[in-house]
């Protein structure tokens, strides 16, 4: 019988474990047994998963949680990433370039061909100055309105509202967004992940929510909302007016040039070139096309503004408009500001009646009216918002789980006190 080798450094005898390949199925090796036990522990260990983020649970009438796991900067960054694809940018910029090209072609043709060449050739020099003033005034206001509408912020949700909603948390009732009237209700945007004010909507092209959004206009490469609605309506009005003036003042000469081109290719006095005649006829066709295109838009948007409606709200079929002030002037004032000569200037309202987060209602006369042209202090504005959106008072803001835990603590303390009294007795 062979005895195991003894260690020279230790006094106690020790057996050498058999060393075999781990990949073999040997069960006599202690190393293999240790490997099996370790593998069993590793396999049976539950996988660690990250805790899911707490997202708001949207219900029909309210959102229980409006705390956001991302701050406003992250929301803005994500919104800008979702804003526009390259193809959409190219198509929109192309539309803007075509629109500006048409504007400047019409202006150049009217001034340098019609006023400088055709009217003197026809012996109507006396009409040059009044026609020039009349057309260029309307044309200049149209171009100014276009640039203002294109460059203006349509009504991005301000940081002031974001902080207001985040500070309130569950105290701010937030409703599910629907295509119907929701006056005095903050609605939840699933894409921006924020509660937004009444009459605000999300623009998929711009990638953000817009205050009192009307529509997204590819013609101006921008949304039409609370901050540039006035400029957009003036853009339509002045563009239609410029086209109408151009057609009315140049109608006899357009007919003359058309007859001249068809008959002989040049006028009887030989003072007009064929290129000038063709360019002037192209000007007339564009003016006629724009007149028929813009006139229905002018009438439609003026009718909507006269009832204090946006293009989106004009499709609502349920209930009565809660924002209709009863007559045209107060309704126009909601878009253009307090009545005055500034209505004709394509700039933001000098004396706005609201801040874009709350609006006057006819069905709630007890609601505080807007203070004309005065945004108010932070406390005053937030007090108005609290009343408008029916913010719950502080005593009702406690979470139901906190109430249950408090009740359990009270009951447990009562039971422990009873047990102490029974033991002492």
∠ CA 320-324-326, nearest 5°, is 115
- The CA-based diameter of the chain, rounded to the nearest angstrom, is 139
* Predicted local distance difference test score (pLDDT) of residue 84: 52
Beta carbons of 148 and 228 less than 8 angstroms apart = yes
Q: CA–CA distance from 98 to each of 83, 95, 102, 194, 231 (Å)?
A: 22, 5, 6, 36, 20
Residue 190's contacts (CB-CB under 8 Å, 6 or more residues apart) are none
Give the tokens for residue 250: 């140049």
Q: What residues in the chain have per-residue pLDDT under 50?
A: 1-47, 49-75, 77-83, 368-375, 396-398, 420-425
**Average pLDDT taken over every residue of the chain:** 77
* Predicted local distance difference test score (pLDDT) of residue 366: 52
User: The pTM is what?
Assistant: 0.73
Integer Cα distance of 253 and 338 in angstroms: 43
* Predicted local distance difference test score (pLDDT) of residue 170: 86
What letter does residue 357 receive in the DSSP assignment? S
In tens, the pLDDT along 230-239 reads: 999 999 999 9
* Predicted local distance difference test score (pLDDT) of residue 215: 94
* Predicted local distance difference test score (pLDDT) of residue 266: 56
Residue 275 burial (CB < 10 Å; 0-12/13-18/19+)? Answer: exposed
In tens, the pLDDT along 317-354 reads: 877 899 998 899 999 999 999 999 999 999 999 899 88
The pLDDT > 90 percentage for the chain reads: 45
* Predicted local distance difference test score (pLDDT) of residue 408: 63
């Amino acid at each position: 019988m062979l005895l195991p080798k003894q260690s020279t450094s230790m006094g106690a005898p020790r057996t050498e474990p058999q060393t075999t390949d781990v990949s073999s199925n040997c069960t006599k090796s202690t190393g293999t047994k240790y490997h099996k036990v370790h593998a069993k522990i590793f396999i049976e260990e539950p996988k660690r998963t990250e805790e899911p983020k707490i997202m708001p649970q949207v219900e029909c009438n309210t959102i229980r949680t409006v705390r956001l796991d991302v701050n406003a900067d992250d929301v803005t960054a994500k919104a800008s990433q979702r804003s526009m694809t390259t193809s959409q940018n190219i198509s929109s910029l192309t539309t803007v370039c075509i629109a500006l090209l048409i504007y400047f072609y019409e202006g150049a043709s009217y001034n340098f061909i019609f006023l400088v060449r055709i009217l003197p050739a026809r012996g109507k020099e006396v009409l040059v100055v009044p026609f020039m003033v009349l057309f260029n005034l309307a044309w200049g206001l149209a171009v100014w309105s276009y640039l203002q509408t294109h460059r203006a912020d349509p009504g991005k949700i301000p940081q002031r509202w974001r902080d207001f909603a985040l500070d309130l948390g569950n105290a701010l009732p937030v409703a599910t967004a629907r295509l119907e009237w929701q006056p005095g209700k903050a609605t939840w945007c699933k894409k921006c992940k924020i509660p937004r004010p009444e009459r605000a909507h999300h623009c998929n092209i711009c990638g953000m929510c817009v205050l009192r959004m009307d529509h997204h206009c590819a013609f101006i490469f921008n949304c039409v909302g609370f901050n540039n609605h006035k400029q957009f309506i003036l853009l339509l009005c002045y563009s239609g007016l410029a086209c109408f003036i151009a057609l009315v003042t140049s109608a006899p000469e357009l007919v003359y040039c058309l007859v001249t081109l068809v008959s002989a290719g040049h006028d009887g006095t030989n003072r007009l070139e064929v290129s000038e005649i063709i360019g002037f006829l192209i000007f007339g066709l564009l003016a006629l096309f724009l007149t028929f295109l813009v006139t229905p838009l002018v009438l439609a948007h003026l009718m909507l503004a006269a009832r204090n409606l946006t293009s989106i709200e004009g499709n609502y079929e349920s209930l009565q408009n809660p924002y209709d002030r009863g007559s045209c002037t107060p309704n126009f004032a909601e878009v253009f500001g307090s009545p005055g000569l500034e209505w004709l200037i394509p700039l933001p309202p000098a004396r706005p009646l609201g801040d874009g987060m709350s609006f006057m209602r006819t069905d709630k006369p007890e609601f505080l009216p807007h203070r004309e042209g005065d945004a108010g202090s932070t406390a005053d504005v937030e007090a108005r918002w609290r009343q408008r959106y029916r913010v719950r008072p502080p005593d009702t803001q406690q979470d139901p789980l906190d109430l249950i835990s408090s009740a359990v603590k009270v009951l447990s303390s009562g039971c422990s006190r009873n047990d102490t009294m029974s033991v002492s007795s």
